[in-house]
């Protein structure tokens, strides 16, 4: 008798199987929701990339992006993501003449939910970044522009330790840029260490304003964001 009931149950499942459907739902995951630029300068542009990954079983659509103010831009390469795809949200902050602690909360909305998804960014804007403590960067605005046919891809900068203790240096944000940044592992008390910017080969003929962020191991885990500017404009043409 038990075998008979099992057979009937199995037949019912087989009959209903074509009518069973899996609900398709878009969903996403963020690489992070907060980024702290730390200490940086006025009248520059700094940037950081947040990544959105489509983790549902249906197409994710980014339906709205609100930068929050005129000083923040969020260019988007693709607003429609198939399951498993990712897209970069590059937050570009123009520091203008702001000074002191700055917080911005841009947001976006997707078809996964009507709720706003906020991205929080912070910065400490210094009128005189060369006076920052306990270290400073010279120059605080790294320029790797090229105006002649002679290729210019590299620019040096210095990290000056003004304190009486050694600091380890860690690169926090140097990805998704048009350049590579090389940092010293540490800078000793009262001494100066050298860093290097090198423009990618595929970005030689580009003009850009980007940045990199590093952190030192002081008590505050202080961060510093250094703008990197490249203007490509050949003034001497081939004859």
Residue 146 corresponds to which tokens in the numbers above? 């090229």
Predicted confidence at residue 237, as pLDDT, reads 61
pTM over 0.85: yes
Domains 28-126 and 129-230 share a fold: yes
What residues pair up with 64 in beta bridges, in sequence order? 109
Side-by-side strand order, sheet with 113-118: 80-81, 60-66, 107-110, 113-118
Q: What is the pLDDT of residue 23?
A: 74
Q: What is the pLDDT of residue 235?
A: 77
Q: Residue 62: what pLDDT?
A: 97
- Alpha-carbon distance of 226 to 111, in angstroms, equals 36
Query: Sign (positive/negative) of CA torsion 161, 166, 171, 172?
Result: negative
The strand pairing partners of 223, in sequence order, are 215
**Tens digits of residue pLDDT in 190-229:** 999 999 999 999 999 999 999 999 999 999 999 999 999 9
Give the pLDDT score at 218.
97
Nearest to 225 by CA among 151, 121, 82, 80: 121
Architecture of domain 129-230 in this structure: Sandwich (2.60)
> What is the phi/psi pair of residue 129, to 5°?
-60, -25
Q: What is the pLDDT of residues 1-13, one digit of tens each?
A: 545 555 554 454 4
Segments of the chain with pLDDT less than 50: 2, 9-10, 12-13, 16-17, 19-20
CATH class of 28-126: mainly beta
Extents of the domains making up the chain: 28-126, 129-230
**Residue 158 pLDDT:** 98
Cβ(107)–Cβ(30) under 8 Å?
A: no
Supply 113's token pair.
């939910």
């Amino acid at each position: 008798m038990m075998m008979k009931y099992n057979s009937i149950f199995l037949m019912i499942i087989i009959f209903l199987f074509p009518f069973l459907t899996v609900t398709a739902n878009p969903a996403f995951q963020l690489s992070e929701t907060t980024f702290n630029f730390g200490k940086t300068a006025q009248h520059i542009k700094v940037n950081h990339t947040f990544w959105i990954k489509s983790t549902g079983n249906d197409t994710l659509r980014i339906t709205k992006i609100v930068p929050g103010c005129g000083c923040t831009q969020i260019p988007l390469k693709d607003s429609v993501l198939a399951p498993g795809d990712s897209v970069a949200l590059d937050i570009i902050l123009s520091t203008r003449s702001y000074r002191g602690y700055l917080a911005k909360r841009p947001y976006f909305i997707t078809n996964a939910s009507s709720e706003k998804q906020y991205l929080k960014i912070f910065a400490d804007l210094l009128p005189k970044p060369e006076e920052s403590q306990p270290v400073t960067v010279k120059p605080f605005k790294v320029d790797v522009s090229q105006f002649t046919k002679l290729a210019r891809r590299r620019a040096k900068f210095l990290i000056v330790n003004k304190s009486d203790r050694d600091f380890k240096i860690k690169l926090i944000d140097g990805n998704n840029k048009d350049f590579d940044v090389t940092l010293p592992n540490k800078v000793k008390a009262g001494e100066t260490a050298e860093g290097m910017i090198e423009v990618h080969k595929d970005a030689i003929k580009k003009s850009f304003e980007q940045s990199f962020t590093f952190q030192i191991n002081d008590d505050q885990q202080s961060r510093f964001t250094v703008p990197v500017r490249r203007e490509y404009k050949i003034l001497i043409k081939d004859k």
